[in-house]
Amino acid sequence: MAGAADRAFREICVGYGASYVVGEMASSKGISMNDKKSSRLLFISADERPAAVQIFGREPETMASAAAAAMKYEPDIIDINMGCPAPKVAENGGGCALMKDPLLAQKITRACVKAVPVPVTVKMRAGWESGDHDAVELAVRCEDAGAAAVAVHGRTRVQMYSPPVDKDIIRRVKESVSIPVIGNGDITDGKSAAQMLSETGCDMIMIGRGALGRPWVFSLINTYLDKGVFLPEPSVEERMEVMLRHIEKLCEYKGEHIGIREARKHAGWYIKGVRGAAAFRAEIGAVSSMDHLRRLADKVAESECGQ
């Protein structure tokens, strides 16, 4: 979710019922060097709480120092990323690479827990390689180190985002620890959310890619879990209204030049499944201003109405 789950996106998701959000992961080394980009990643607004900042790295002392420095932004939780499969993170020993060294992961967790006054949580995957499930051992070690909860994505690093998520490993983690376990992977609607909860026994669910271009997914899930009612997906016109609201926030927080550049990927997610999406996607790549995006949103909505 790096590059997507920024303040604008998180606030939109909270508006649709997300009960807790986690920021984009920030480099512990970057934080320790007072990097401006890291500072932007750590900022939390009043409209998105409770919220966590997420840090990554592989050196216990540096991670602890970064966690302490992040307290300047008053996070409700410090989250340690031990699940990112991206080569630029994992190949440098951070993210999911820590699953290959559970003792080091335990040391990092313990150091961060000692460094901050708020709960520390850990995000992990099923393991590193297919058939090599390390999540149980890592979760037990993190609990021993003082972690307040663990989130488990039910695929290994090698599997990336396919095949279907392995709920059994999440269930095994839940059975092995006493702290809350958060299930993650393939949650896109009320039914898949209910299945994750019932089949794993997990305490909470985490939605990542399932919310890209669909921040209303939290409303769909909450309504199904609370009332057993399936809400329909918003109309294309409503989707375009949400997109514009999202991008307006993005431009307000980052300036229109950067906001519009980053808006292109979000707009591509918002029009997924729309009739003529391929042609619109080509136009999205050339969007240069908020006015241009509004005109394109009108075209998308009109094309659907004119079927």
Q: How far apart are CA 5 and CA 13, in angstroms?
A: 10
Q: Which of 84, 112, 142, 202 is catalytic?
A: 84
Cβ neighbours of residue 255 closer than 8 Å, sequence gap 6 or more: none
Tokens for 235? 């109309």
Q: How far apart are CA 277 and CA 225, in angstroms?
A: 31
Q: How far apart are CA 300 and CA 114, in angstroms?
A: 52
Three-state SS at 276: coil
Three-state SS at 292: helix
Pairing of strands 149-156, 21-27: unpaired
84 is a catalytic site residue: yes
Nearest 10 degrees: CA dihedral of 107, 111, 114, 119? -80
Half-sphere exposure of 86 (CA within 13 A, CB side): 11
Contact status, residue 217 vs residue 206, Cβ threshold 8 Å: no
Q: Which residues are catalytic?
A: 84
